[in-house]
């Protein structure tokens, strides 16, 4: 069991899991370790990662006082590939094999319905855990995570969209627009995996207090209306092939408006990972659990609404 917060000079991290379409073990490990094998990276199957990592000066990589020392992925070939790219010294046969050899873990998969069982061995071992977005996608699993947090287990989860430099200036700072009345956000891929990206981009701008969620779309085209207690209406379009609209946001109020576009993956990921390392050092989560819980209620409510013919689901139903 780790003593938390962590005080050792270098925090040893395990990167755990990889699922189709999510190359975070490559990029996160490079960002944390601060070095990579360029020839091995050329063979990485994720073109976007090769592009945004390749643009960074080498001296901007790395998070001080942290190192990914162990890697496990669902396909052993992936683990060997990531280890070569990010210069990770230890590839393990089972995820549990890292217990006793690392100080904290990152569960780097984005299938929320799997996360309770992926996290359980490390929670039970007392290791701090970072869970990739979304934390979960159903009521039962949210209650398990809530119970773990209530019992003092150190775990956090977030979307990198919370840390976008394009949106950060407007976090609880929209006074120039008068009374904020409307936000629109577009996102690609599925509600199950990328809905949280749209939600967590918006959430730090308006803060807690969402009242309801209504999804009138379908599995490929999620059109979601959120109501906030402060009189802000939010619409999210999370459409399977909407890559041209990835991360577009409109903010509009009674006096002015602006339109924003997310573009810097690297900055967002590095700030997200730095926030985890800071949490490991301080013991203070970057986001209160109550906010993470509300975000998961919005994810879950969006799914339940879609499955129930577009019914308005009130967050009070999910308490």
Domain containing 250: what range?
A: 162-263+297-318
pLDDT higher than 70, residue 1: no
Instruction: Taking each helix axis as running N to C, give the angle between helix 191-206 and helix 289-307, from 0 to 180 degrees, rounded to the nearest 10.
Output: 130
Q: Are residues 118 and 256 in the same domain?
A: no
pLDDT higher than 90, residue 2: no
Q: Are residues 94 and 32 in the same domain?
A: yes
Cα angle, residue 142 at apex, residues 140 and 143 outer, rounded to 5°:
65
Q: pLDDT band for 3, please (50, 70, 90 cuts).
A: confident
Q: Are residues 303 and 201 in the same domain?
A: yes
> Is the distance from CB of 87 to CB of 109 less than 8 angstroms?
no
Q: Are residues 201 and 123 in the same domain?
A: no
Q: Are residues 234 and 86 in the same domain?
A: no
| Domain-embedded: residue 151 | no
| Domain-embedded: residue 146 | no
Classify 272 as helix, strand or coil. Answer: helix
- Going from the C-alpha of 317 to that of each of 75, 119, 219, 290, 304, the distances in angstroms are 39, 26, 22, 16, 11
> For position 267, what pLDDT does the model report?
97
| Domain-embedded: residue 244 | yes
- Give the CATH number of the domain where residue 247 resides: 3.30.360.10
Q: Are residues 59 and 109 in the same domain?
A: yes
Q: Are residues 309 and 206 in the same domain?
A: yes
> Is the distance from CB of 33 to CB of 67 less than 8 angstroms?
yes
CA-closest candidate to residue 139, choices 121, 159, 113, 117: 113
pLDDT in tens, 241-293: 999 999 999 999 999 999 999 999 999 999 999 999 999 999 999 999 999 99
| Domain-embedded: residue 38 | yes
- Give the CATH number of the domain where residue 110 resides: 3.40.50.720
Query: Which residues, at least 6 apart from 191, have a Cβ–Cβ distance to it below 8 Å?
Result: 215, 219, 222, 224, 238, 299, 302, 303, 306
Average pLDDT over residues 165-173: 98
Q: pLDDT band for 192, please (50, 70, 90 cuts).
A: very high
CA-closest candidate to residue 54, choices 40, 68, 72, 41: 41
| Domain-embedded: residue 276 | no
pLDDT in tens, 56-73: 999 999 999 999 999 999
> Is the distance from CB of 287 to CB of 162 less than 8 angstroms?
yes
Q: Are residues 34 and 128 in the same domain?
A: yes
- Average pLDDT of the chain? 97
| Domain-embedded: residue 112 | yes
| Domain-embedded: residue 218 | yes
pLDDT in tens, 121-160: 999 999 999 999 999 999 999 999 999 999 999 999 999 9
Domain boundary (114, 132, 150) is at 132
Q: Are residues 119 and 225 in the same domain?
A: no
Classify 68 as helix, strand or coil. Answer: strand
Give the position of tokens 């969006």.
302
Share of the chain above pLDDT 70, in %: 99
Q: Are residues 95 and 169 in the same domain?
A: no
Share of the chain above pLDDT 90, in %: 99
Q: How many domains does the chain have?
A: 2
Q: Are residues 74 and 205 in the same domain?
A: no
Q: Are residues 124 and 167 in the same domain?
A: no
| Domain-embedded: residue 155 | no
């Amino acid at each position: 069991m780790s003593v938390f917060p962590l005080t050792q000079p270098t925090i040893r991290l395990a990167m755990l899991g990889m699922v189709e379409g999510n190359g975070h073990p490559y990029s996160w490990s490079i960002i944390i370790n601060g070095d990579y094998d360029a020839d091995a990276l050329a063979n990485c199957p994720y073109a976007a990662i090769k592009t945004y990592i390749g643009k960074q000066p080498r001296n901007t990589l790395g998070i001080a006082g942290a190192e990914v020392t162990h890697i496990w992925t669902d396909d052993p070939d992936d683990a060997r590939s990531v280890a070569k790219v990010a210069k990770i010294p230890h590839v393990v046969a089972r995820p549990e094999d890292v217990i006793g050899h690392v100080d904290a873990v990152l569960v780097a998969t984005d299938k929320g319905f799997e996360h309770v069982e992926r996290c359980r061995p490390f929670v039970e071992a007392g290791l701090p855990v970072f869970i990739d977005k979304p934390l979960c996608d159903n009521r039962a699993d949210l209650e398990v995570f809530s119970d773990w947090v209530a019992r003092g287990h150190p775990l956090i989860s977030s979307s990198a969209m919370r840390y976008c430099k394009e949106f950060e200036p407007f976090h609880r700072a929209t006074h120039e627009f008068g009374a904020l009345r409307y936000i629109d956000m577009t996102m690609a891929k599925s509600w199950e995996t990328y809905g949280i990206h749209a939600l967590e981009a918006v959430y730090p701008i308006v803060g807690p207090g969402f009242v309801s969620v209504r999804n009138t779309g379908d599995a490929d085209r999620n059109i979601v209306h959120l109501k906030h207690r402060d009189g802000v209406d939010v619409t999210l379009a999370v459409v399977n092939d909407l890559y041209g609209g990835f991360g577009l946001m409109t903010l509009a109020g009674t006096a002015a408006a602006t339109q924003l576009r997310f573009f810097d993956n690297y900055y967002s990921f590095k700030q997200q990972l730095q926030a985890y390392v800071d949490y490991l050092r301080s013991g203070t989560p970057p986001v209160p659990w109550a906010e993470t819980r509300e975000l998961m209620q919005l994810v879950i409510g969006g799914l339940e609404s879609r499955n129930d013919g577009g019914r308005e689901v009130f967050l009070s139903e999910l308490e």
